Every structure is written in structure tokens, then in C-alpha cells.
Structure 1
Amino acid sequence: MTATDQPGPIRVMLVDDHEVVRRGIVTVIDSSDALKVIGEASSVTEASRRLPAIRPDVLVVDLQLPDGTGLDVMRTAREIDPAQRMLVLTSFDDDAALRESRAAGAAGLMLKSARSQEIVDAVTAVHEGRGVWPADHVEDGPELSDSDQRIVELIGDGHSNREIAEALGIAEKTVKNRVTVILQAFGMQRRTQVAAMVAARRRAGWKPQ
């Protein structure tokens, strides 16, 4: 493989209305050879105007914006590209922010007070399809039936739909349908995100009821 064949850095767009904070985050992201900020915006309006042309690999967005919220930006991004990968970077770490971010399709939430390397790692993880949520909130999420919770755990164990169907004694099509519902409930796009969430829960000592 030649140097020109090497994949480029992960292209990041940052949306934050505080210029000083935004410049600091840009510096953090650009400090990694694997990441590059290729677009910035300070409002919902500006982000919505720039997103179609920029098409970032990862959208990093603050929740508090002068003309709306980061949720508005994420919804617009998903309309443009349903597979858009998104990370919330905010000063507020509460249950409502987590639930709303998940519902809007974010793959994770990080505090602006996080260390530089943690932010870099979070952007990289989101690009790879992994979820990034605060450890003390890993058990937050929608209420699931016992059978759906069992499916979540089996996904976390790395089982395919066919293997889950065999384990639960149900049709594979039923499992496929329930996985779709589970993904929607968590605001996720891929089962790898569910697996990552289960892994984070287990590291934090969470046990299914």
C-alpha cells in the first residue's frame, strides 16, 4: 500500500456557540493525526446550512445553542444522512440530556471537562460504531420487556440472530424484528452499539434484573 492509498483522518464537524471553547476543542481534535476538524458552526442555522456540503464522518455537537439545541442539529444531520455518526460534547451531564441525545441518534455523550485524550478517544469510538456514555449512567435507557432485555444481553455476548432465536426458542424473524425495536428504543443504529453498551454496563458492575 502506497502513502496515497492510506485512509485519511476522521473528518469532524464541531458545533458550539462559544468561540473560545470551540477553538479549544478544535485544537484538541486536531492534535490527533487520526482526526481533523473540517467544519465548524456556532448555531443550529449555520450548522444546518453547512452540513449538506461538509458531510462529516463524525458530528460533534453541544446541546446548548443560541437558536435551538444540539438535538435540532442532530435531527437535521440524520435527515441528510441517516447513518451520520454523532457525539454530544456538553457541560451538562444529566438524565434528560442522555435520554434526549440517544433519542436524537447520538452514539455517545462526553463532558467538555473531559481530558483531551478522552475526547479524542470518544470521537474515534463513535466513528468505529461504538457507544460512549458516562460510566455512572450506563444503566439508563428505555424500559424493556424481560425477553427484549435477554436479547440485549445475548447481543452483548456476540450471538447472531439465529443463535438468539435458538437460545430463546423463537423464530429468527421475531428476533430480527425485536432487535429493530431495541435499536429504536435506545436511539441506536447498529447492534454493535448495543454490544458496546452492554460491555460498558458490565465494566461498571451493572447486572440485568
Structure 2
Amino acid sequence: MHAPATPDPIRVFLLDDHEMVRRGVRDLLDGEPGIEVVGEAADRREALARAPALRPHVALLDVRLGSGSPEGDHEGIEVCRELRARMPELACLMLTSFDDDEALFDAIMAGAAGYVLKQINGSDLVNAVRTVAAGASLLDPGATARVMARVRGDEDPVPPELARLSPREREILELIGEGLTNGQIARRLYLAEKTVKNRISSLLGKLGVGRRVQAAVLAEKLRHRAMEHDGPG
């Protein structure tokens, strides 16, 4: 009697200009059943030279290479674009230290399957790799819809209550309106819970309200306004 066939491991390629980050992610992923890190690179040139020959299923790519500030470039997103041009079946998971809406836009346009912050905990990163390897997207549908509207040039005017909020803060506000806790929002958006807490403090200040429940009431009003604008489905 033949032994049951074991599925092929998920082959992962890493790109990050910090050796300690690569080492930590490699140790994390290699310790998981069904995942194998097949290669790594520290810069764009190495990634484009090595990755295609290794035929990874998932490329875990640092958004910014050679920069430690939010103003740095998005070279990792260019690597995503170039690798997917050569390997359309490749799932690129963008990894960044900064919650940057412009980088999110660029990542979606480059064909990335997911976008997560480096503050993500280890088990969630493993789940993210498995999710994109299975062909699913980790990009928030609301963010994707905004990108498509931006491409078409038909974005609706932003209500004055939201004009001061970033797109990420608007997403968090919507989830507050749904009654989600900080921990639930963090898991939904693949953010660290501390990041969510800081974002909520920021959006409360921008909205001029002092309590979370006031933000939830505002979120509900905005949701009803959007439903009225869209009309019956």
C-alpha cells in the first residue's frame, strides 16, 4: 500500500536589506510545516537575479530598500512588478515598517497579493504567507476599491467629516462602527494592536471627538449616508 502523497511545500523567497530581519523571518518560516525558504536577497539586483531560477510560490518583499524613513522610495514594489512580469503566478507579499497609503496604492497597481506591516506577529505572518500562496488576497476590499476609483478618476467627494483622515484611518473608523475591538481590528487589517490604538487616538483627534463611542456614532451616520448615495442595490 502506497503512503499518501505529501503536498509540495510553499516555496518562499525573501527580500530585505536588513540581515537580521531576513534571518528572523527565515527562522520563523522554516520552522513551519509545509513552508520552505528557498532563497533571499538584500537588494533589487540580487532579487531579480536569484528569484526566477528558484521558482518561489511566494515572494516576501520589503517595500523600502536602503532607506530608514517613511520618505524612502518604494523599490521593493518595483521588484514585485518586475518579478510578476517574469512569473505571473508568483504571489508577492509586501512587508513594510510604515503604514503608507501611497505605497499601498503602488503595491496594488504592481500586482501584489498582500501588504502587511513588520509589526505583525509571527503566527499572523505565517498565515499571511499561506493565504497568498493559496491564491487569496490580503488586500482590504475597501482599499482596492479606492485604488480602482482613483485609476478611473471617479472617486466620490470625501465627506467633510472624513477629509482629515487617511484612508487607513477611514477603514479603522468603519470597523469601529461595526463594533470591533482593537484586537479584532488589528487582526482584520494585519496590523499590530498598538498601531491600531495609536491610529484610533489620531482619528479621534482629527474628528474632534473624545470617546470611541462618538466615533462609532459618526461611522454609522456616514454608512447610512453612503447607502443613501448608492441607492437600493
1:23 and 2:29 aligned = no
The alignment's TM-score, normalised by the length of structure 1, stands at 0.64
Tell me the equivalent position of 2:102: 96
**1:111 counterpart (108, 117, 120):** 117
CA distance in 1, matches of 2:47, 2:87: 14
**2:80 counterpart (53, 74, 80):** 74
Tell me the equivalent position of 2:42: 42
Q: CA deviation at 1:132?
A: 1.0
Other structure's SS at 2:147 match: coil
CA distance in 1, matches of 2:24, 2:139: 22
Q: CA deviation at 1:31?
A: 2.0
Tell me the equivalent position of 1:127: 133
Tell me the equivalent position of 2:5: 5
User: Is the contact between residue 109 and residue 134 of structure 1 (CA under 8 Å) also seen in structure 2?
Assistant: no
Q: CA deviation at 1:71?
A: 1.4
Shift in alpha-carbon separation, 1:2–1:75, aligned structure 2, 3 A: farther
CA distance in 2, matches of 1:2, 1:14: 35
Listed one character per residue, the Cα deviations across residues 8-35 of structure 1 (whole Å, up to 9, x for unaligned) are: 2100000001001111111111121021
Listed one character per residue, the Cα deviations across residues 62-114 of structure 1 (whole Å, up to 9, x for unaligned) are: 01113971112112211211221110011112211111111111011111110
Q: CA deviation at 1:140?
A: 4.0
1:87 and 2:93 aligned = yes
CA distance in 2, matches of 1:96, 1:109: 12
The alignment's TM-score, normalised by the length of structure 2, stands at 0.58
Shift in alpha-carbon separation, 1:3–1:70, aligned structure 2, 3 A: farther
Long gaps (5+) in structure 2: 67-72, 151-187, 190-219
Q: CA deviation at 1:5?
A: 2.3
Q: CA deviation at 1:141?
A: 2.7
Q: CA deviation at 1:2?
A: 4.5
Query: 2:21 is aligned with what amino acid?
Result: V
Larger radius of gyration: 2
Tell me the equivalent position of 2:175: none
Query: 2:121 is aligned with what amino acid?
Result: R
Listed one character per residue, the Cα deviations across residues 28-55 of structure 1 (whole Å, up to 9, x for unaligned) are: 1112102111110000000010022111
Other structure's SS at 2:38 match: strand
Other structure's SS at 1:130 match: coil
Other structure's SS at 1:141 match: helix
1:142 and 2:118 aligned = no
CA distance in 2, matches of 1:135, 1:79: 24
User: Is the contact between residue 44 and residue 68 of structure 1 (CA under 8 Å) also seen in structure 2?
Assistant: no
Tell me the equivalent position of 1:154: none
Q: CA deviation at 1:142?
A: 1.9
Tell me the equivalent position of 1:32: 32
CA distance in 2, matches of 1:83, 1:134: 21
Q: Percent identity?
A: 39
Query: 2:130 is aligned with what amino acid?
Result: T
CA distance in 2, matches of 1:39, 1:137: 31
